[in-house]
Structure 1
């Protein structure tokens, strides 16, 4: 039997990437000329509504996605990427919307990758993993900030101490980095459970560090460039 599925979207409930969201029902929205499709995540059974602008001629005559799939014996895959249309239709919006996690602006790509993973694990309730990833973020971030090759090769504790001595980070940034380092170490070696409040605090410390380490300096550089252009 042909199926109708939504693709290229994380489940807004369990946050599974590229979740299998199978459409179970549809309602034509006559005033809009669209269809409201109700889909179920096969991982967590969470429900999602997608508003779809039909592209196919048959669908435009309100035959419906299910009738079209049944008649043609073809699976209908509706791509949920923004502004992306395929043979059958364009997904205009979904309810609820999955939370898209991002790192602070100007964060180096690899550092940002693990920070996003830390946030995703926090949302999933994987607090120990979140703490360990925050420590990894701090390790990679301080290597990016190292002003000499020998510093980047040192252990995290010695590296952040050296960065503070050289004035690359402030005393407050050093303390934030050390908190994340210690909590990350604890999660790696301790059998104690890492509670949500501790994970949330470590995540906040990590994000603040990235803002001061990468976002604010980049903002200053951009402002200076603008000032130089105005003078020229």
Structure 2
């Protein structure tokens, strides 16, 4: 099982030691699976939960594992493309190392990578973000978030007199994670739901 190890600060292939399924009597779709895992790198214990949902082939299966122990300020969704996961991991390392200006710059870089992967190429990041919105990849709210991230990243990269506040850096990182998580998880789920409804 691919999960995030807090001790290793990386995504690892963890060994499942044991599992428990909480069955809901009146709605089996609400079943919850808890798995106790062991990190393959450092042997640290990791507890994750999974909800019952449709997989990519529209069959029922356990969804993406979400770590609930140890607790973490930030969660990287395993479904996000590898290049973006690497970028987010670097963002988190910068934040944990109190490098808040570097956090803002790395978040902007990750956003640029997101635009590139989604085929939203423009002469600059502002144009690329606008294309994401025009193509329906992000909605109005996510567009506003992405544009603010762009501006914050520009300020961090080009204004040597500007010090990024820790709370601002955390917000920037939270919004970056939220944009990717929404796009690759919730939006994909909703698009599949609409496609299933059309087939009825």
TM-score, normalised to structure 1, is 0.51
Q: Offset of 1:221 from its aligned partner? A: 5.5
Q: Offset of 1:173 from its aligned partner? A: 1.1
Q: Offset of 1:154 from its aligned partner? A: 3.1
The CA RMSD over aligned residues, in Å, is 3.6
Distance 1:133 1:82, change over 3 A: same
* Paired position in structure 2 for 1:217: 187
Secondary structure of the structure 1 residue equivalent to 2:76? coil
Q: Offset of 1:170 from its aligned partner? A: 1.2
* Paired position in structure 2 for 1:199: 169
Match among 92, 96, 112 for residue 139 of structure 1: 112
Distance across 1 between alignment mates of 2:180 and 2:44: 34
Partners of 1:164 and 1:170 within 8 A in 2: yes
Matched, 1:103 2:76: yes
* Paired position in structure 2 for 1:120: 93
Partners of 1:102 and 1:116 within 8 A in 2: no
How many residue pairs get matched? 146
Consecutive unaligned residues in structure 1, runs of 5 or more: 1-9, 18-80
Secondary structure of the structure 2 residue equivalent to 1:152? coil
Off by >4 Å, runs of 4+ in structure 1: 90-94, 97-102, 221-225
TM-score, normalised to structure 2, is 0.59
The correspondence of residues 138-217 of structure 1 with structure 2, limited to 5 A, is 138-146=111-119, 151-191=120-160, 192-217=162-187
Higher Rg: 1
* Paired position in structure 1 for 2:38: 82
Distance 1:84 1:178, change over 3 A: closer
- 1:81-106 per-position Cα deviation (integer Å, ceiling 9, x unaligned): 93769xxxx95759xx6969652242
